[in-house]
Amino acid sequence: MELYLRTGRALEEDLYVDPEAPAVRAIAILREIADVAAVVSYERTEFVKAGGVVPPQSAFEWLIRVENLKDWAAELGCRLPLTGGAELPDEVWPRTEPADGQINTADFLETWTQVSGTYGSWLARFTDDARFGEHFASMIADGSPSVEQFREGAAGILWTVRALMPWARQNLPADAEPVAVVALLISQNLFVLGWHTSAELLPSPAYLTEMLRDSGALDWLRDQGEDEPNWLT
């Protein structure tokens, strides 16, 4: 949770930061580590049902190497003791496969619609009812079973989106890739919401809106027949 909160604040500091900047790539790796912790916290998630393959240390070390982050970190006084080999392990995140064994754009858009809609409905609850935040916070404090169900559901959403990322990177056009990134950030925010209602959801809806608009991804969604998310600012 601390990784989500601290890296979210770091991203929010600059809406127009270079997505290929070393700091941004490092943040992506940290949030992926947080994703592992989140999804394996719930034994009933699809991640565990699929075999529960946790990305090994060597996978993250490979990411550090391929992103050229070791030298960048050393320049900032942080020496990373990488011990693994230079090859990416055969299996990192298991992929989500539909019944016919083929992922396509329609599958991706269906997941986007569900994730974006869930995010919008929860934001609306907090916006439309000033007392809802206090009520939900008290449910968290009391250990309400419904809150635990929400957390489990959020972990399942996070797993679904994370498992689709390899397909998205390989098959979406460049201007549409931010849709996948936003879906991942949204799913991470939903998981944070189940634990910290007092914490500002970062990256914020404004940040996510800028990412979709400035990249042209929002135009791509319109071309696919998708409605604008109701949380756009």
Express each pLDDT in 160-175 by its tens digit.
898 888 889 889 999 9
Give the 3-state secondary structure of residue 193. helix
**What's the pLDDT at 99?**
47
Give 92-150 pLDDT, tens digit per residue.
555 555 544 577 899 999 999 999 999 999 888 887 887 887 888 888 888 888 888 88
Over residues 173-184, mean pLDDT: 94
Of 226, 2, 3, whose CA–CA distance to 115 is shortest? 226
| Residue with the two structure tokens 């991470």 | 188
From 117, 151, 124, 122, select the one nearest 38 (Cα to Cα). 151
Instruction: Provide CB contacts within 8 A for 145, sequence distance 6+.
Output: none
Query: What is the C-alpha radius of gyration for the chain, rounded to an integer number of angstroms?
Result: 18
Helix (H) or strand (E) holding 30: helix 22-39
Residues with Cβ within 8 Å of residue 113, at least 6 apart in sequence:
226
Q: What is the pLDDT of residue 87?
A: 64
Average pLDDT, the chain: 84
Q: Which residue has the higher pLDDT, 44 or 121?
A: 121
Among 229, 225, 228, 215, residue whose Cα is nearest residue 178 = 215
Which of 17-21, 110-114, 199-203 shows the highest mean pLDDT? 110-114
Task: For residues 190-195, give the mean pLDDT.
Answer: 89
Domain spans in the chain, listed from the N-terminal domain onward: 2-55+93-223
Q: Strands of 24-98 (E only): list them.
A: none
